[in-house]
Amino acid sequence: MHGRRGDPEIALHVGLGRRPAIDARIGIDEGEVLALLLGEIATCRRITHAVDLVHSGFEPKEAAMNVRYRVELSETERDELAALLRGGRRAARTVKRAQILLAADAGESEQAIARHVAVSASTVCRTKRRFVEGNLERALSEEPRPGAARLLSGREEALLVATACSEPPVGRARWTLELLAGELVRLTGHDSLSRETVRRRLAENDLKPWHQKMWCIPRVDGAFVARMEDVLDLYAEQPDPNSPVVCFDESPIQMLGEVRQPIAAEPGRPRRVDYEYRRHGTMTLFVMLDAHRPWRRVMLSEHRTGLEFALCMRALVDEHYPHAQRIRVVLDNLSTHTPAALYQAFPAPEARRILRRLEFHYTPKHASWLNMVEIEIGVLKGQCLDRRISEPEVLKAEITAWERARNSAGARIHWMFTTEKARAKMGRAYPQPASPNGSVKPS
């Protein structure tokens, strides 16, 4: 048997009874030889057969064992397999098949491939055969496996899906696998159904009736679009020291103390804390973030009123941006985020002085995700506040250290959502303009 690449000829040595054996090198179509030896018609591409039959009356299985499949990948197929091995979570079988095909394309022997990939030689041969007789997708995918027939027919499976998408029985908050199995037994002629059968059919339909998601659907009208594009245009501007863009928001935090002292971590054992804790009230974080430079400032207060908002705005004007001509503040629609809060906190001349240098830009209702500082608050809670802190002085010291380190590191939010992207992604939700005669133009 010869596995040399590029040899289109097949040597046949066939002895029939007592007649002298025929020894000749015959150039012949490879597909016809395979059909002759295996007893089936197969259009195989990129196959080199080298069959050496030294006795008469050979069996088809013996001939099939002598067939060698040669894998020759195109550049596109190589790139696809390389990308499959590089990124993402893949099934182990799929990864091994990709490794087999790449090694076979490089000219490795089946024994070497089986040893390096840690599979059997039959797996290597089977993967190469499925690629040659089919295509790359067939070689990477699973063949149908023998087993018992499916318990649920197509109609019964549709009934299961419809039941899982319906309201649960009275007294139950959601469907479970046991409830669905029992309901399907009641509605069909089955004596019993296992929860695993129900789970597999639901998984095939990407359905988990015990899961739910919560959303808040804003009303995308002219006011929503105007505020959204106003904020996005601010983010897209070039940095201007005379007109900085500052995002502002507040967030509450619980002050929690330990009932029992935590046990420090040791090799092989994580840090342990007691389940019970003691509440020490709440504090409010007032966070200010520059949209164009790596700067943020966090202020703490026990209250969350218009007075605290007014104090933050005065600090923004007098302490953090004393030389800016105009400070543009992005904020949400909380009732205290208004110019009136400054008049309620300070005398009228002082309030007017501060407001002359402030310009408020509000996010749309139910769209606080457009406020960049929301991301920064998430970073603060994840990096610094994901623990129990009971004393305000400790909380302030920890936040100050986090704030100083983050400012020194030059960390900032890189906003990618622009007005152009908003129009492309949300174009259908945009209000339709009216034509001069009063009718609405079609989209």
Residue 47 has pLDDT above 80, yes or no: no
Q: Does the residue 110 lie in any domain?
A: yes
Q: Does the residue 319 lie in any domain?
A: yes
> Residue 441 has what pLDDT?
55
68-106 pLDDT per residue, tens: 788 889 999 998 898 888 877 788 888 999 999 999 989
DSSP type of residue 434: B
318 shares a domain with 177: no
Band (437; pLDDT cuts 50, 70, 90)? low
Q: Which comes out higher in pLDDT, residue 286 or 84?
A: 286
Q: Which of 107-121, 141-155, 220-234, 396-410 has the lowest mean pLDDT?
A: 141-155
As for how many domains the chain has, the answer is 4
Domain containing 113: what range? Answer: 75-140
Band (220; pLDDT cuts 50, 70, 90)? confident
> Residue 23 has what pLDDT?
33
Q: Does the residue 351 lie in any domain?
A: yes
Q: Exposed (0-12), middle (13-18) or buried (19+): which is 373, by Cβ within 10 Å?
A: buried
Start-to-end C-alpha separation, the chain: 69
163 shares a domain with 55: no
325 shares a domain with 195: no
Q: Does the residue 339 lie in any domain?
A: yes
357 shares a domain with 241: yes
96 shares a domain with 195: no
Residue 34 has pLDDT above 60, yes or no: no
80 shares a domain with 62: no
136 shares a domain with 48: no
DSSP type of residue 47: E
Q: How many CA atoms are closer than 13 Å to the CA of 282, on its beta-carbon side?
A: 9
Segment 333-361 shows an average pLDDT of 96
190 shares a domain with 136: no
Q: Does the residue 424 lie in any domain?
A: no
57 shares a domain with 114: no
- Token code pair at residue 320: 């953090």
Concatenating the DSSP letter of every residue in 230-299 gives HHHHHHHSPP-TTS-EEEEEEEEEEEEEESSPPBPPBTTB--B--S-EEEEEEEEEEEEEESSSS-EEEE
410 shares a domain with 365: yes
